[in-house]
Every structure is written in C-alpha cells, then in structure tokens.
Structure 1
Amino acid sequence: MNSFSSPYQIDDPRFRNLIQKNARLRQLATGFEWTEGPVWFADHQHLFFSDIPANRMMRLTLDGQVSTYRQPSDYSNGNTRDRQGRLVSCQHGTRSVTRTELDGTRTVIADSYQGKRLNSPNDVIVQSTGAIWFSDPTYGILSDYEGYTAEPEQVARNVFRVDPSTGEVEAMITDFTQPNGLAFSADESVLYVAESGSSHDAGVPSVIRAFKLDDTGRILSDDVFATIDRGLPDGMRVDIAGNLWSSASDGIHCFHPDGTRLGKILVPEVVSNLCFGGVRGNRLLITATTSVYEIAVNARSAI
C-alpha cells in the first residue's frame, strides 16, 4: 500500500461520516513477531501492546518511539485498563488473568475454574461495575509458540465473569469453539464476542455474536451480530455511537449497531486487534502481525 492509495472500502454511505478521507494509514513500528492486546494510557500518551511469541509487552508513543515495558510477560495477550487505571492482562504462560497494581506488583484475578486450570485467557474487558469478563480459548496451550503446550483441563472454551465483590469466577457462555475478542456496547447492555474457531476448523463460521445482558450480567438473548468475510474476527472495540470496529485478515471492519457493515479500513498485514487512542481519542491504533499502525477517524471509544 503506497502513500497515495486509499485505505478505505465504502460499503455504506454512513461510513464516510466515520472516517477522515484524507487520512492515511501510518505504520508506527514494526519488527515484532505477533502483536496483540493494544491498550491506550491517555495520562501517559502511551500504547501498551503484547508481542506474544517474543514473550514481551511493549510501550509505544505516537511518534514511533518503542521500548520494552515487561519481559518476560508470561506470554501476555489481551490487555485492558480498569476504572482505577490499572492494567489488566491475559497471560498464556501462567494461564491466568492478572492486574498490575499502581505500585507495579501483579495480582492474580483468575487462574482456575472449578478446581481446574484455565486454558489460556485471551481477551479481557472490565465493566463499570468492576466485573471482569475474559475469554478462554486454547490457543496458548496448543504449542510452545504463544505459551506452553499442555492438555486442556477445562471441558469447554468459555467466556468467564469475575464477580467484583467476591472474586468468584463464573462461566457465562459455554458454547463457543474458540471465543476470542470481547467488547461491550456503550451502555453495557450488549456483550459482543468473536468466534475465531475457523483458525483451526474451516467449518466454524467467522461470526461476532451479541448477547443481551441484564443488570446483573445474566444473558437474556444471543444472536449472530455480524459475519467477517475475510479471515476471522479477533479483537474489537465499540465507539460512542455504538458502531463496532472489528479486526479481520484484510483490515478493520466497521459495523453499524444494527449489524450492517459500513466499510473497511484496509491494512497490509493481518489485523489482530485495535483500540482508540491519541491526544483526542480519535485515532485507531491497530496491532497487525509484525507491526502497529494508526489512522485518524471520526469516532472515539465508548469507554
């Protein structure tokens, strides 16, 4: 992709209101093995992300300065920030979800369910209530590339919820082949979950499912929200208008809240994940295979 080619595919005229037509995709940094788990810390103007096979977590500024934040990272994958500003991470190596406290120490949030080790926590999000949700596919124990080879102890690949008051871990969704990216709607009434099972089984549909929740996090309904037509869905984010931005093999796919695909931002590497960031919060920061990219948009994160 050269500097004069458009990175946009317009599928619906409404997409034009969400993009900056003169903005171009910019590669901020490259040379990594497999980038994942971007999370923006606005108070420091830093992006943190995982380089999973290299067993490290990186720090990046928008002027392209990159440094190592944590190595070894226990093969960290997905990352987020809780409402107290603390880093919450999924770690393949320890098969756990941890929180980095403000003093730099790490607290284990979850590493087992019903007395058995988790598979390999993949993505994580935190509700305004403090409840922590995470997906638990088996990618991190399938080989020694992104963790340590092991037999799964869990009978399913679940989406779990950690109760904010008791710390109890509960399996909320149990019927995915490989649950992956997670995102909440702006009002937290809908949980979006990516199905990435087609990575190892072509018969698994590459879909994003939408789960309506009640105030206690109980599931009221389950519907297929959208289908990814290139590759599979991985990391996702929702903007303040309710549009969902999902990773795919050809870039970022943007969906209206009704599930209509509005358009794509085309990226020259397979995209794993994304987040909103920048000084004004209107930059898409994209982890894609060996690189991190950014592009200005007319959207900001829902949280």
Structure 2
Amino acid sequence: MSASASWFEIVDPVFGHYVLFNAPLKKLAEGFDWAEGPVWFGDQQCLLFSDIPNDRILRYGEDGLTTFRQPANFANGHTRDRQGRLITCEHGTRRVTRTEWDGTITVIADSYQGKRLNSPNDVVVSRDGAIWFTDPHYGIVSDYEGFKAEAELSCSVYRVDPDGTIQAVITDMACPNGLAFSPDESRLYVADTGRAFHADPQHILSFDMGTGRPTRGSIFHKIEPGCADGIRVDNEGNLWSSARDGVHCIAPDGHLMGKIFVPEVVSNLCFGGRAKHRLFITATTGLYSVVLNRRGAQWP
C-alpha cells in the first residue's frame, strides 16, 4: 500500500523514515540543456556537474552558480579518486581523465586494444583505487553531446587498475550507463539504458564481486516509468536511481521502497552536504536537491 505527499510517494513503510516531511524539494538552478554527472566536493562545499550539450562543467556552491570549465570536451559523469581528485568522462575526446591539484589533465583511458573508446559515460572508484567506467555509444550517435562517429568497440564496462592496466570486465550489455558499488563492494550495480533509438533492454543489473571481478550478472530492478541512468547507494545499501518521474529508492533485495517526484526527467544524482544527507539531482534543464534522513555511502 502506498502513501504520498506533494513531492514523494511511500511504497514500503520503511521509506517513510527516509524522507523528512518538512524538508522540501528545492530547485537550485536552471537553464541547462542536459544536466548530468553531479559530484560533491565536501572539502570545498560545492557541487560540480555537467551541462553536456553546452560543453561546460558548472560549479554550485554558497556563492551560487559559476562555470568551472568551458570548453569541457562534452564532459558527462564525474567522481573523485581516493586522493580527492576529479575523475571525468569526456564524450568529445572519448576518454576518461583526472584533474590534478595543479589543474593539469592526465589521461586515464582513451583506447582499448588499439581502438578508441566510444564515449565514456559514468565512473566510480573502488576502495583499492581502481577506476571503473561505462562506455556506451550515446556521445557518438549524434553531434548533440559530442561528435558523431563510428563505434570501434562494443559498449562495455572497464576497470583501470592503479598501475594503469585497463580491462573490459563486462562486455555483454547493450549500453551500460550508471554504476555503483554496494557499501561493502560485494556487489556492482550497472544500469543498462539500451541502444540509442531502441527501448530494450532497460534495467539495473547486479553483479557478484566475490572474486574481485563482476560475475553472475542478474536483473536487479526495472525502473518504471522510464529507465535507470545515474545511480547511487546510501549507507544501508539502498539504491537510489534516476527515473522519468524523479528518483526511485530500491531496497537491497530489489523491491521499490518509494519515489521522490521531480518535475523533469532525472539524469543523475549524488549525496552531499555537511553530513552527506542532501541528495543533489540533475534533471534535464535544472538542478534540484532535497535533504533526507539517510546518508550516502559511496565515495566521495
């Protein structure tokens, strides 16, 4: 049985403990064409995110909205490594980069087995320092979010070891997109948003990480309406996913717990704020946030 308020819906009663009735959904900024890739910098009390078609990375903080980098090589997803440096997926250059503390750019990956990557999309860093990223074809199917080009590789999930060795670790998905580890890193979740211009498959897969590499992939959850794009986990292992109608909260066993309604299609999200209890949401043309009774678990 579900219950709802103006900005959320409770499907599982437990979700009622996750939302705060007096903490509204807020629109923080607008005017983007496709906002994506939010990442929180707690040491600087700011959020970075991409406006992909406008080729810029924006910064939201106490001083409002400013431009962090433009041009930005049509950057999409971001995270931070274990040293706190910015890791970025770039559609325009078809690579994953690291921004060093002095502002210089280091290339993490731009090819595999002598062939160019497609358009790296989202990225996470595991506790051993390895960088994991998805490489669908969305950034090369048109000139809207990058440069139209032919794919040289299948759409895969990659792991880059701390020594720079790159390996394709999941190669049988249509178009891997958002990804997240469970808090103990025993599971890797990957959203499959399907090939461009084709609807299926669209679901979240769960992979067993017992061997240190993803195995035994199975369907974890299917978002309705819409599909999962960006995903994050909280400190109890619940998965928070983008959806057409907002953000969905999914329990570790795969059942829907509740929804946060957003008036635009949501692309991605991340936890931040002083206690990592504020959920930042990128949604088509706007940036939103809501304070929850829940803390994010995934680094950063």
Same fold (TM over 0.5): yes
Residue 124 in structure 1 maps to residue 154 in structure 2: no
**Residue 226 of structure 2 is aligned with which of 225, 231, 234?**
231
Q: Which runs of 4+ in 1 moved over 2 A?
A: none
Q: How many residues align?
A: 294
**Residue 205 of structure 1 is aligned with which of 201, 205, 217?**
201
Deviation by residue 1:75-107 (Cα, 9 ceiling, x = unmatched): 000000111000000000000000000111010
Residue 85 to residue 58, structure 1, CA distance change in 2 (3 Å): same
Q: Secondary structure at the match of 2:53?
A: coil
**Residue 158 of structure 2 is aligned with which of 144, 157, 160?**
160
CA-based RMSD: 1.1
Aligned-partner residue type, residue 281 of structure 2: I
Tell me if the contact between 1:28 and 1:64 (Cα under 8 Å) persists in the aligned partners.
Answer: no
Tell me if the contact between 1:198 and 1:206 (Cα under 8 Å) persists in the aligned partners.
Answer: no
**Residue 270 of structure 1 is aligned with which of 265, 281, 284?**
265
Instruction: State the partner residue of 1:242.
Output: 237
Tell me if the contact between 1:6 and 1:24 (Cα under 8 Å) persists in the aligned partners.
Answer: no
Residue 75 in structure 1 maps to residue 74 in structure 2: yes
Residue 64 to residue 29, structure 1, CA distance change in 2 (3 Å): farther
Question: How far has the Cα of 1:131 moved from its partner?
Answer: 0.6
Instruction: State the partner residue of 2:27.
Output: 27
Tell me if the contact between 2:174 and 2:201 (Cα under 8 Å) persists in the aligned partners.
Answer: no
Question: How far has the Cα of 1:23 moved from its partner?
Answer: 1.6
Q: Secondary structure at the match of 2:171?
A: strand
Between 189-198 and 259-268, report the one with greater CA deviation.
189-198
Instruction: State the partner residue of 1:191.
Output: 188
Instruction: State the partner residue of 2:133.
Output: 134
Tell me if the contact between 1:56 and 1:71 (Cα under 8 Å) persists in the aligned partners.
Answer: yes
Report 1:46-61 matches (<5 A): 46-61=46-61
Question: How far has the Cα of 1:198 moved from its partner?
Answer: 6.2
User: How many Å separate the matches in 2 of 1:152 and 1:140?
Assistant: 10
Q: Secondary structure at the match of 1:237?
A: strand
Identity of aligned residues (%): 59
Question: How far has the Cα of 1:207 moved from its partner?
Answer: 0.8
Tell me if the contact between 2:89 and 2:96 (Cα under 8 Å) persists in the aligned partners.
Answer: yes
User: How many Å separate the matches in 2 of 1:196 and 1:223?
Assistant: 15
Tell me if the contact between 1:159 and 1:179 (Cα under 8 Å) persists in the aligned partners.
Answer: yes
Q: Secondary structure at the match of 2:172?
A: strand
Instruction: State the partner residue of 1:40.
Output: 40
Tell me if the contact between 1:33 and 1:53 (Cα under 8 Å) persists in the aligned partners.
Answer: yes
Tell me if the contact between 2:188 and 2:214 (Cα under 8 Å) persists in the aligned partners.
Answer: no
Q: Secondary structure at the match of 2:139?
A: helix
Question: How far has the Cα of 1:194 moved from its partner?
Answer: 0.2
Residue 297 in structure 1 maps to residue 292 in structure 2: yes
Aligned-partner residue type, residue 286 of structure 1: I
Residue 178 in structure 1 maps to residue 175 in structure 2: yes
Instruction: State the partner residue of 1:108.
Output: 107
TM-score (ref. length: structure 1): 0.95
Question: How far has the Cα of 1:64 moved from its partner?
Answer: 7.0
Unaligned runs of 5+ in 2: none
Deviation by residue 1:149-181 (Cα, 9 ceiling, x = unmatched): 100011x1000011112x111110011111100
User: How many Å separate the matches in 1 of 2:36 and 2:117?
Assistant: 20
User: How many Å separate the matches in 2 of 1:180 and 1:29?
Assistant: 25
User: How many Å separate the matches in 2 of 1:50 and 1:190?
Assistant: 27
User: How many Å separate the matches in 2 of 1:22 and 1:206?
Assistant: 34
Aligned-partner residue type, residue 289 of structure 1: T
Aligned-partner residue type, residue 273 of structure 2: G
Q: Secondary structure at the match of 1:301?
A: coil
Question: How far has the Cα of 1:206 moved from its partner?
Answer: 2.1
User: How many Å separate the matches in 1 of 2:201 and 2:146?
Assistant: 26
User: How many Å separate the matches in 2 of 1:199 and 1:148?
Assistant: 15
Unaligned runs of 5+ in 1: none
